[in-house]
């Protein structure tokens, strides 16, 4: 194939032209970003108001979500391994109890079975309850032998735990099986409900952010109507006209997000000490978890995207209405 210098030149030209266009496009993005930030900073008070609206609307559900996460951590640490207490008939012989321990150990659903003899139980009770002297007056040990069953970690739902408890309860020497699941279940269900409420709240407040930023951008478009018309008259594309407004929206969202991060941080910092004291009083290792690095980053991303979307809504609705007549 012969190389046609003419067509080669054409290809090179097209390539440079594309590169020029790309460079110009990048340049306009940079300019739009800088210019729209400049405009926001030009009227600091009005911009601060807008950012505060965004920040408060986002900080509220974020705080609730972080609080829920903390509750979850607290719940998990209390209930990492739900235990089943199996009280054996006081008249059962120790060998029978040992045999039962072995039998239970063989269950696929059971991870570990601990045997607590009546004597051990009495000692623990005396040590912990402070009733030691009174217990000394008793003729015989009233406490039954107990097996503490730890199910395998895959069994966590209340229903399967209940099934397991019932299975254990069928053994002849077993008196009662105590599965104190109610508070765990309630906590879990409350948590699910809480999450649903927070999600709905977050959705509503995000919609609020979207609309209020959309309105801010609409006003900006309105005030720069003349410029838009002239730009369109001298050949500005819709993308060119749209760009600075989209950047404004993104900036408002981002700056609002920064303020929201600060608000959440300040809020949690102010109660951190109190919570630590409270946890210490309950001998808990628990400490309050803040938003964290990825949480802050996520909040900023969400707020920026919300700003961009709000601007997009306003721009889509109002920019096409402004045409040179």
Residues at the site binding another protein, with contacts judged by CB under 8 A:
20-21, 23-25, 27-28, 31, 226-227, 229-238, 240, 323-325
By C-beta, is 21 or 93 nearer to another protein? 21
Outline where the chain has alpha helix (H). Answer: 5-42, 44-78, 94-105, 118-129, 132-136, 158-169, 182-223, 225-233, 238-281, 292-318
Q: Which pair of tokens denotes residue 100?
A: 């039962």
State the minimum distance, in angstroms, from the CB of residue 33 to another protein.
15
CA distance 242 to 219: 14
State the minimum distance, in angstroms, from the CB of residue 276 to another protein.
55
Q: Please name the residues in contact with 144: beta carbons below 8 A apart, sequence gap of 6 or more.
A: 87, 88, 89, 90, 118, 121, 175
State the minimum distance, in angstroms, from the CB of residue 226 to another protein.
7
State the minimum distance, in angstroms, from the CB of residue 316 to another protein.
14
CA distance 166 to 160: 10
By C-beta, is 91 or 325 nearer to another protein? 325
State the minimum distance, in angstroms, from the CB of residue 232 to another protein.
7
Cβ(82)–Cβ(156) below 8 Å = yes
By C-beta, is 32 or 296 nearer to another protein? 32
State the minimum distance, in angstroms, from the CB of residue 244 to another protein.
12
What are φ and ψ of residue 69, in 5° steps? -60, -40
By C-beta, is 22 or 183 nearer to another protein? 22
By C-beta, is 106 or 234 nearer to another protein? 234
State the minimum distance, in angstroms, from the CB of residue 1 to another protein.
33
CA-CA-CA-CA dihedral for 121, 123, 124, 127, to nearest 10 = 160
By C-beta, is 186 or 225 nearer to another protein? 225
By C-beta, is 98 or 317 nearer to another protein? 317
User: In degrees, to the nearest 5, what angle opens at C-alpha 230 toward C-alphas 227 and 233?
Assistant: 150
CA distance 106 to 99: 11
Pairing verdict, β 84-88 and 174-178: antiparallel
Burial (CB count <10 Å: 0-12, 13-18, 19+), residue 149: buried
CA distance 156 to 164: 11
């Amino acid at each position: 194939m012969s190389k046609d210098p003419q067509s080669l030149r054409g290809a090179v030209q097209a390539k440079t032209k594309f590169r020029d266009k790309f460079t110009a496009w990048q340049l306009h993005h940079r300019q739009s970003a800088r210019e729209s930030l400049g405009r926001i900073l030009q009227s600091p008070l009005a911009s601060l108001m807008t950012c505060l609206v965004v920040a408060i609307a986002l900080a509220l559900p974020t705080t609730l979500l972080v609080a829920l996460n903390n509750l979850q951590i607290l719940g998990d640490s209390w209930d990492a391994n739900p235990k089943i207490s199996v009280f054996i008939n006081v008249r059962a012989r120790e060998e029978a109890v040992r045999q039962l321990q072995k039998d239970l150990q063989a269950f696929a659903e059971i991870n570990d079975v601990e045997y607590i003899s009546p004597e051990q139980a009495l000692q623990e009770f005396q040590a912990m309850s402070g009733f030691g002297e009174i217990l000394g007056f008793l003729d015989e040990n009233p406490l039954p032998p107990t097996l503490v069953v730890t199910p395998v970690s895959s069994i966590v739902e209340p229903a399967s735990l209940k099934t397991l408890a019932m299975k254990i309860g069928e053994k002849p020497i077993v008196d009662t099986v105590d599965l104190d699941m109610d508070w765990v279940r309630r906590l879990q269900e409350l948590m699910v409900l809480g999450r649903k409420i927070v999600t709905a709240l977050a959705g509503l407040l995000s919609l609020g952010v979207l609309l209020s930023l959309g309105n801010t951008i609409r006003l900006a478009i309105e005030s720069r109507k003349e410029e838009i018309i002239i730009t369109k008259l001298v050949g500005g594309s819709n993308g060119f006209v749209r760009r600075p407004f989209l950047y404004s929206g993104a900036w408002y969202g981002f700056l609002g997000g920064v303020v929201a991060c600060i608000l959440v941080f300040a809020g949690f910092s102010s109660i951190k000490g109190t919570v630590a004291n409270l946890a210490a009083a309950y001998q808990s290792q628990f400490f309050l978890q803040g938003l964290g690095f990825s949480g802050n980053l996520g909040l900023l991303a969400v707020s920026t995207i919300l700003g961009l979307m709000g601007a997009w809504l306003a721009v889509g609705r109002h920019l096409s209405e402004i045409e040179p007549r």
